[in-house]
Structure 1
Amino acid sequence: MTDTTTGRVHHLNLYRKYFELVTAGSKTTEVRVKYPHLADLRPGDQIRFHIKDTDETCVVKIQRVSEYTDFETLLDREGAATVNPTASREEQLADIRAIYPPAKEALGVLAINIELVDG
Structure 2
Amino acid sequence: MPALDRLLPILLLLGSNVFMTFAWYGHLKYRSAPLLAVILVSWGIAFFEYCLMVPANRIGAAVYSAPQLKGMQEVITLLVFAGFSAWYLGQPLKWNHWAGFALIAVAAWLIFLD
User: TM-score, normalised on structure 2?
Assistant: 0.28
Larger Rg: 2
